[in-house]
Structure 1
């Protein structure tokens, strides 16, 4: 099975690391934090609908002029969710605020990655001039293992949903029952593949934004949904398990749920202790500009979110897998803590400065 979206060594792509870590790098006399952190290159942007004529008009589905000539292209309905750019960075990049094909696939692997991105695009904005004869082969690759050696049993589901602004969903194969992290777009083909991997016992919803087709998945796979009570809305009132209080909660010996309020009141992260990976939803992610908490989309409290990021210093993990943005692999827990501490300190300073400006405007 093909493996997409590998984390790549930052040292191989140049200086694209966050300012907080650049500061740490300068102060380090022994080893460089910058060179050790592994992360994909391209930025994550919360999806925003592009301005199109009528939204469903013929023009919207036409090829963007920013695409290079060739079979694959992105049309004007792109919402800049960034999915294709991290699934097939050798084919897609951001041009003038949306994705575009900057290089047509030239080998079998590149073509497969491009087709996987096409199938995962939440708005079906990636198209081909000629119907792809190998699309079924691409469909069979889902769910895609992230790293079979370092993260055995952890899969990317693909099929991102526009209802979740293009967020990614993941499958954890676990001896005590498999776990689906957030909801992909429902498709029977994916459901059958998940059944072949043992089905799903729990659907863990990190927060209220990324629930997508949770009802269809719950019914199809007969799994119990988990969501914090503070994030329950009309569309999720029937979830089977509503978390109460501040936790933590356990789903087994090595699965812990950690309440991380801030992005929303009921945001919760999942720590898979055995492989040292933290699924963060929208709580914390990596963009090209660095670690990010997406303050512009905060629905609760930025200081609360930063406090919740500080809570992560107490946890032992080497990977961050977010709902949006780059996956991050740290060298070890010490590096993780060094980077998170610098990030929180920098964000607190920025937020304090912003609040002082706002107060001065009201004097």
Structure 2
């Protein structure tokens, strides 16, 4: 299978068949046993309600826990806090998933819990097994990417890691059990996280637009040039969407009608479409032009790096939402 649209086909190498070892199991046990010790030097935010879970003062307000476990975590005074303790096992599991995903390890339990070992095995998490089978949330958000979400996609022509989660041996083993990684697609330069560790561990080839290549990503195997589009499989297309950064690119998975947007476009906490002006590194007007380009693609899911997921009933609703968003924003940056 060739990478079409500007660069050559890589040679496919199967991932290393690493197996679980006593060392990785011991690491999981040590995680649970040291939960209380990890709190040393961290202050519990007074905004937390009393109970099992709490958030410390090193929270960076990345929003991860609030969309992963909204029943438990809320934004209070520009940081997350536990405003209601879990009331059932499902809510407790979601809170523990958020604990593992927190990029600054700012979520804690008052006492160590062995339940964390069970929750570790759940990642990557299926997003919607009925509507978008084979698309997963990796969890383990990286502080180096300011808590950005990364995704794992199983595909018959080779699995894809979209942006970089924090590297952990447990997650790596879980991903290998799902078939490993052929490509690591980096949407833009901000969310590359632990890309080198993942590349070495999975022996996958990284893809990044040349406009976003920096010293830390100089050895990326496949550098996109020009304006594309580029195909990495018969039904996976890379769409050039500059604006947030010079080399921002979205991944379009046509059969499932999913668009992985990085930081190009996302949902706000109020469920509206949004983009970041304050963190724009190139041109807001260019970013809006790139958003308008998305009217030409039929998708019903937006899976972003930062921000909330967005779903639409159909392409017509998606286009109506995009048109309304652009009508509000384009006059401001004409």
Q: Same fold (TM over 0.5)?
A: yes
TM-score range, shorter chain: 0.7 to 0.9
Aligned ranges 1:182-331 → 2 under 5 Å: 182-289=163-270, 290-331=272-313
Query: Is the Cα contact below 8 Å between 1:59 and 1:76 reproduced in 2?
Result: no
Measured after TM superposition, the shift of residue 62 of structure 1 is: 1.4
Aligned to 2:90: 109
Bigger mean CA deviation after superposition, 59-68 or 90-99: 59-68
Structure 2 counterpart of 1:349, from 323, 326, 331: 331
CA distance in 2: counterparts of 1:146 and 1:229, whole angstroms:
30
Aligned to 2:132: 151
Query: Is the Cα contact below 8 Å between 1:60 and 1:76 reproduced in 2?
Result: no
Aligned to 2:102: 121
CA distance in 1: counterparts of 2:165 and 2:251, whole angstroms:
17
Per-residue CA deviations over 1:106-164 (Å, capped at 9, x if unaligned) read 21111100000000000000011101121100101000000000010000000000000
Query: Is the Cα contact below 8 Å between 1:260 and 1:267 reproduced in 2?
Result: yes
Measured after TM superposition, the shift of residue 341 of structure 1 is: 0.9
CA distance in 2: counterparts of 1:284 and 1:252, whole angstroms:
23
Measured after TM superposition, the shift of residue 60 of structure 1 is: 6.1
CA distance in 2: counterparts of 1:288 and 1:73, whole angstroms:
21
CA distance in 2: counterparts of 1:110 and 1:140, whole angstroms:
17
CA distance in 1: counterparts of 2:310 and 2:112, whole angstroms:
35
Per-residue CA deviations over 1:145-188 (Å, capped at 9, x if unaligned) read 00000010000000000000000000000000000000000000
* Count of residues paired in the alignment: 295
SS in structure 2 of the partner of residue 73 of structure 1: strand
Per-residue CA deviations over 1:300-321 (Å, capped at 9, x if unaligned) read 0000000000000000101100
Q: TM-score, normalised by structure 2?
A: 0.87
State the superposition RMSD in angstroms: 1.0
CA distance in 2: counterparts of 1:163 and 1:60, whole angstroms:
21
Per-residue CA deviations over 1:225-250 (Å, capped at 9, x if unaligned) read 00000000000000000000000000
Query: Is the Cα contact below 8 Å between 1:60 and 1:77 reproduced in 2?
Result: no
CA distance in 2: counterparts of 1:344 and 1:247, whole angstroms:
23
Q: TM-score, normalised by structure 1?
A: 0.80
Measured after TM superposition, the shift of residue 59 of structure 1 is: 8.8
Gaps of at least 5 residues in structure 2 are: 1-38
CA distance in 2: counterparts of 1:147 and 1:60, whole angstroms:
39
CA distance in 2: counterparts of 1:60 and 1:269, whole angstroms:
40
